[in-house]
């Protein structure tokens, strides 16, 4: 009987011990509530702790760093340019203000909702106070890497516009404005960053049009330079061609001159053998001149004393033949 009582006592002891104790893990902190209200100090140290069973309840709260992924929102910059911005933040529940967190928010779902409101508003206000270039650029000392051969003479193509603070300072501004507001709810904001920045469709279209325009200017410059080089090559070709034709014409004329000189020398040697040969040479030249001047349709009016009439009179013309042909035969 005593053994049974001891067994029952041990079982009841373990049940009471189980109901009166709880374990706090390294990654969490605990708030004890009694009838829904926090009692005592938060349990932030890992280990075994005690509570009143059935009356007190254990509420476990995360101690580790927690992520917050903001929703994509369309925001307007100071220069009225619309951007679609995604933000990312890290936060945790402050050990010093865990009671405030529990009383105001209770759980992570409400905490994330509050982060959406406060961080979203702070981001929108910061973006609205700065121009587009300040949100996009991170380093004001950055130098654009461009090909001088491409952008030479094209104005501001490839030039980075100067900035005053840059994206990092804008993120710091959001952090500074949002942190004290979140501290009122027991949330410690660790940092916040722009995760992604996309252009609005209208802005994206304008940027693409500007990029196309810049590249068209570069292409037009290259085309202009190519056309100039082509004109130089064509002009040089025409000049060389004219020089070649001139030299060829000069050579031809020299050959013609030499040939005429040799022909004249041959004629002179052939016909300069006596009065008869000279007369015959003159006669042939006369016939050649008449042959160039006269044809079948030529009508001449000659006097009886004309040398040509005397020449025709000395020939017997066959029917259907030309007097010049008859003279050549004779």
Task: Round to whole Å and give the CA distance between 121 and 174.
Answer: 9
pLDDT at 327: 46
Compute and round to an integer the Cα radius of gyration of the chain: 57
The conformational region for residue 223 under phi > 0 = left, psi -120 to 50 = alpha, else beta, is: alpha
Query: Do residues 189 and 310 both lie within one domain?
Result: no
Residue 110 lies inside a defined structural domain of this protein: yes
d(CA 56, CA 34): 5
Domain for residue 77, yes or no?
A: yes
- The dihedral of CA 213, 219, 225, 226: what is its sign? negative
State mean pLDDT over 127-134: 89
Tokens linked to 133: 């270039």
The lowest-confidence range among 52-56, 193-197, 283-287 is: 283-287
* DSSP character string of 308-330: HHHHHHTSPPPTTS-HHHHHHH-
Residues 154 and 107 in one domain: yes
- The per-residue pLDDT for range 169-192, each reduced to its tens digit, is 899 999 999 999 999 999 999 999
**Interval 26-82: pLDDT, tens:** 889 998 998 888 888 888 888 888 888 888 888 989 989 999 998 888 898 988 888
**120 vs 317 pLDDT, higher one:** 120
- pLDDT band per the 50, 70, 90 thresholds, residue 322: low
How far is residue 181's CA from residue 38's CA, in Å, rounded to a whole number?
23
Give the tokens for residue 302.
């000659």
Can you read off the two tokens belonging to residue 29?
């902190």
Distance in angstroms (rounded) separating the CA atoms of residues 97 and 284: 136
Residue 23 lies inside a defined structural domain of this protein: yes
- The two tokens of residue 170 are 């804008």
Are residues 51 and 83 both part of a single domain?
no
With 80 as the cut, is the pLDDT of residue 271 above it? Answer: no
* pLDDT at res. 8: 84
Asked whether 105 and 123 are in contact (CB, 8 A), the reply is no
Domain termination residue (choose one: 199, 216, 242) = 199
The DSSP bridge partners found for residue 34 are: 37, 56
pLDDT digits 0-9 by tens, 199-211? 888 777 887 888 8
Q: How confident is residue 315, by pLDDT bands cut at 50, 70 and 90?
A: low
pLDDT band for 115, please (50, 70, 90 cuts): very high
Would you state the pLDDT for residue 49?
A: 86
| Residue 80 sits in the same domain as residue 155 | yes
The tokens describing 300, both together, are 């001449």
Element (H, E) at 14: helix 2-20
Cut 0.95: pTM above it: no
Domain shared by 29 and 92, yes or no: no
Greatest CA separation for the chain: 187
Please tell me whether residues 99 and 158 are part of one structural domain.
yes
How many folded domains does the chain comprise? 3
Q: Which domain holds residue 94?
A: 66-199
Q: Quick check: is 255 in a domain?
A: no
Backbone phi and psi for residue 84, each to the nearest 5 degrees, phi listed first: -105, 115
DSSP string, 66-123: EEEEPPPEEEE-TTS-EEEEEEEEEEEE-STTHHHHHHHT-SHHHHHHHHHHHHHHHH
Please give the angle made by the CA atoms of 60, 65 and 70, to the nearest 5 degrees.
Answer: 105
pLDDT at position 328: 47
The backbone torsions φ and ψ at residue 97, rounded to the nearest 5 degrees and listed phi first, read -120, 25
Report the distance separating Cα 69 and Cα 112, nearest Å.
9
- Please check whether residue 266 lies inside any domain of the structure: no
SS3 56: strand
Q: Is residue 310 over pLDDT 70? A: no
Residue 51: count other Cβ atoms within 10 Å of its Cβ: 20
Question: Where a domain ends, among 152, 178, 199?
Answer: 199
Burial 22-31 (b: 16+ CB within 10 A, else e): bebeeebbbb
Could you say which DSSP state residue 122 is in?
A: H
Residue 176: inside a domain, yes or no? yes
Query: What proportion of the chain, given as a percentage, has pLDDT over 70?
Result: 82
Q: Do 21 and 116 belong together in one domain?
A: no
- Answer yes or no: do 48 and 76 share one domain: no
Q: Are residues 91 and 48 in the same domain?
A: no
Residues 96 and 30 in one domain: no
pLDDT level of residue 86 (50, 70, 90 thresholds): very high
When pLDDT is cut at 50, 70 and 90, the band that residue 127 belongs to is very high
79 and 189, same domain (yes or no): yes
Distance (Å, rounded) from C-alpha 319 to C-alpha 322?
Answer: 9
For residue 269, CA distances in Å to 43, 120, 172, 264 come to 141, 117, 114, 8
Distance between CA atoms of residues 120 and 174, nearest Å: 9
Residue 300 lies in a domain: yes
Among candidate residues 38, 62, 86, the one where a domain is terminated: 62
In a domain, 145, yes or no: yes
Q: How confident is the model at residue 262 (pLDDT cuts 50, 70, 90)?
A: confident
Q: Give yes or no: residues 127 and 181 share one domain.
A: yes
133: domain CATH number is 3.30.479.30
As a whole number, mean pLDDT of residues 241-253 equals 90
């Amino acid at each position: 009987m005593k053994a049974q009582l001891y067994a029952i006592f041990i079982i009841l002891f373990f049940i009471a011990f189980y109901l009166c104790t709880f374990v706090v893990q390294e990654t969490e902190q605990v708030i004890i509530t009694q009838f829904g209200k926090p009692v005592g100090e938060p349990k932030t140290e890992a280990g075994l702790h005690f509570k009143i069973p059935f009356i007190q309840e254990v509420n476990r709260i995360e101690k580790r760093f927690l992520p917050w992924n903001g929703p994509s929102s369309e925001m307007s910059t100071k220069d009225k340019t619309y951007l679609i911005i995604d933000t990312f933040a890290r936060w945790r529940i402050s050990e010093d203000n865990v009671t405030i967190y529990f009383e105001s928010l209770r759980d992570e779902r409400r905490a994330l909702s509050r982060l959406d409101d406060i961080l979203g508003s702070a981001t929108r206000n910061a973006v609205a106070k700065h121009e587009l270039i300040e949100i996009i650029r991170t380093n004001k000392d950055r130098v654009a890497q461009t090909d001088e051969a491409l952008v030479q003479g094209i104005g501001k193509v490839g030039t980075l516009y100067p900035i005053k603070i840059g994206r990092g300072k804008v993120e710091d501004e959001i952090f500074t404005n949002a942190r004290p507001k979140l501290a009122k709810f027991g949330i410690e904001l660790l940092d916040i960053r722009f995760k992604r920045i996309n252009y609005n469709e209208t802005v994206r279209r304008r940027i693409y049009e500007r990029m196309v325009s810049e590249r068209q200017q570069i292409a037009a410059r290259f085309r202009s330079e190519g056309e100039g080089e082509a004109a130089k090559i064509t002009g040089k070709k025409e000049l060389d061609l004219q020089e070649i034709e001139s030299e060829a014409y000069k050579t031809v004329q020299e050959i013609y001159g030499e040939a005429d000189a040799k022909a004249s020398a041959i004629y002179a040697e052939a016909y300069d053998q006596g009065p008869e040969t000279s007369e015959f040479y003159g006669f042939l030249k006369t016939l050649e001149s008449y042959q160039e001047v006269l044809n079948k349709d030529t009508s001449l009016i000659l006097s009886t004393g004309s040398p040509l009439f005397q020449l025709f009179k000395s020939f017997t013309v066959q029917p259907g033949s030309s007097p010049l042909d008859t003279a050549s035969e004779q």
